[in-house]
Structure 1
Amino acid sequence: MKLITLENIKKTYGGKTVSLDISLDILKHESMVFMGTNGAGKSTLLKIITGLLLPSSGRVIKHVEPLHIGYVPERFPNLLRFTPLEYLTYMGRIQGIPLIELEKRIPILLERMALSHAKDKRIDTFSKGMVQKIGIIQSILRKPDLLILDEPLSGLDIHTQNELVHMMAEFKEEGITIILTYHESDLLLKIAERIVILGEGQIKGDYHIKDIDKPHIVIETSGIIEQVIHTFNGILHVSRKGEIIQAHVPQENSDQILLDILHQGGKIHSVGLHDPLKQLIMENYVNK
């Protein structure tokens, strides 16, 4: 079921086009990652989806009303002269959350983000990572229909990155639609069901993870008959490069197949991981 439809979205700043003729359906209960280099229009597109920016042309169609959106910008304001308890309570009350519920929920979220020790300190004294955590907490004080996070792992330590990814996996289980932007963190790919690659203000690629082959091992060997390799249990497929035979095998079968090749008198030249998803990313994203 559709949650939001972007129809021929275009955004210009001072005559410069940032997003050009973008059309996209965002589905309920889907987790989507926007990828692209700096200037590709990721942040602009997220703001248009949230309603913080209006498109110069085109329209955003909401198929669900009311639609509650939780949003975390890439750079959360760091000059807040409040403590986390004060700020989060204030933001929760604005959203109409009962105080008794906030008094229970805020301490739990501060604990999960490793901020309990700073609950009574002013936010304007926090590091970038700590401020980012506050931004994430305020976006989920009330369960959103759509959670949008712009570079959510930026500035976070590895422990908090893993905790946030774990939380987002829980949100997926709860049916929350999630949109993220990606910048060189494979952690986000753990929760992605769909990848949209942006470049030059346009959609360069739109892929569903389920349609992309899983990572597998490529064994380069020689001195063995190709037909013999085909008989090994678990072989995905076999290809040839001159005298070198490439056996593509699932990771869980690779050790046994290596032994089988050696037992048949084959010579191992190399063993490497082939990840179709990362290859796709490299082809469509890096340095484009």
Structure 2
Amino acid sequence: MKLISLENINKTYSGKTVIQDISLDILKHQSMVFMGTNGAGKSTLLKIITGLLLPSSGRVIKHSKPLHIGYVPERFPNLLRFTPLEYLNYMGRIQGIPVMELEKRIPILLDRLALSHVKNKRIDTFSKGMVQKIGIIQSILRKPDLLILDEPLSGLDIHTQNELVHIMAEFKDEGITIILTYHESDILLKIAERIVILGEGQIKGDYHVKDIDKPQMVIETSGIDEQIIHTFNGILRVSKNGETLQAHALQEKSDNILLEILNKGGKIHSVGVHDPLNQLIMENYVNK
């Protein structure tokens, strides 16, 4: 079911086109990742979806009304002279959330994101990762229909990245529609159901992850009959590559397959990984 539709969206700044003729349906309960290099138009498109920016032409159609959107910008303010309790209560009152509800919800969210121990310390003393989590909490004080996070993992250490991805996976399980932008960290793809690749303000690719094959092991071997390899559990396909055979196999079965080849007198020339998703990304990711 559609949540928001973009129809022929264009955005121009000072004569320069940043978004060009984008049409896109955002579906309820779906997790999307917008991918693209710097300057591809990701942040501008997110702001248009949230309503923070108006398009130069085209329409944004909201199919659900009212529609509550939680938004975390790429650079969340880190010089806030508030404690988390002060800031989140203030933001909650702005959103019209009853005080009693805030008194229950804020401690739960602070605990969930491991910030209870700093609830009375000033935010301007926090690390980037802690500030980022405060930004996420303010965006979900009232459960959003749509949660938008612009480069949420930028500059965070790998432990905090994994923690935030785990939290976003929980939001996904709760039925919240999620849109994320991606530049560097592949771990966002763990929660993606749909990948939209942007380049030069245009959609270069739009893919559903379930339709993309899982990563496979590629084993280059010789000295063994092709028909024998076909009998090994986990083999997907085998093809000739000159004097050798190239076997594509399930990653989780690859160790047993390698052992079987050696036990049958075969030789292993090379072992690699074929990742269709990463191949797709590389083919589309660079601006063209």
Matched with 1:75 is: 75
Matched with 1:177 is: 177
- Verify the 8 A CA contact 1:5 1:62 in the aligned structure 2: yes
Matched with 1:204 is: 204
In structure 2, distance between residues paired with 1:259 and 1:80 = 59
2:158 corresponds to 1:152: no
In the TM superposition, what are the counterparts of 1:100-115 in structure 2 within 5 Å? 100-115=100-115
In structure 1, distance between residues paired with 2:219 and 2:155 = 38
Tell me the CA shift for residue 213 of structure 1: 0.2
In the TM superposition, what are the counterparts of 1:229-268 in structure 2 within 5 Å? 229-268=229-268
Matched with 1:117 is: 117
Moved over 4 A (4+): none
TM-score after normalising by structure 2: 0.96
Query: Which amino acid letter does the alignment assign opposite residue 153 of structure 1?
Result: L
- Verify the 8 A CA contact 1:219 1:272 in the aligned structure 2: yes
In structure 2, distance between residues paired with 1:196 and 1:244 = 38
Tell me the CA shift for residue 148 of structure 1: 0.2
**SS in structure 2 opposite 1:213?**
coil
Tell me the CA shift for residue 243 of structure 1: 0.8
Query: Which amino acid letter does the alignment assign opposite residue 41 of structure 1?
Result: G
Matched with 1:44 is: 44
Matched with 1:281 is: 281
**SS in structure 2 opposite 1:214?**
coil
Query: Which amino acid letter does the alignment assign opposite residue 117 of structure 1?
Result: H
Tell me the CA shift for residue 223 of structure 1: 1.2
Query: Which amino acid letter does the alignment assign opposite residue 186 of structure 2?
Result: D
Tell me the CA shift for residue 258 of structure 1: 1.3
State the percentage of identical aligned residues: 87
Tell me the CA shift for residue 261 of structure 1: 1.3
Say how many residue pairs are matched. Answer: 288
Matched with 1:86 is: 86
CA RMSD of aligned residues (A): 1.4
Tell me the CA shift for residue 287 of structure 1: 6.8
Matched with 1:34 is: 34
Matched with 2:162 is: 162
Tell me the CA shift for residue 27 of structure 1: 0.5
Matched with 2:9 is: 9
Matched with 1:216 is: 216
**SS in structure 1 opposite 2:235?**
coil
Unaligned runs of 5+ in 1: none
In structure 2, distance between residues paired with 1:171 and 1:35 = 20
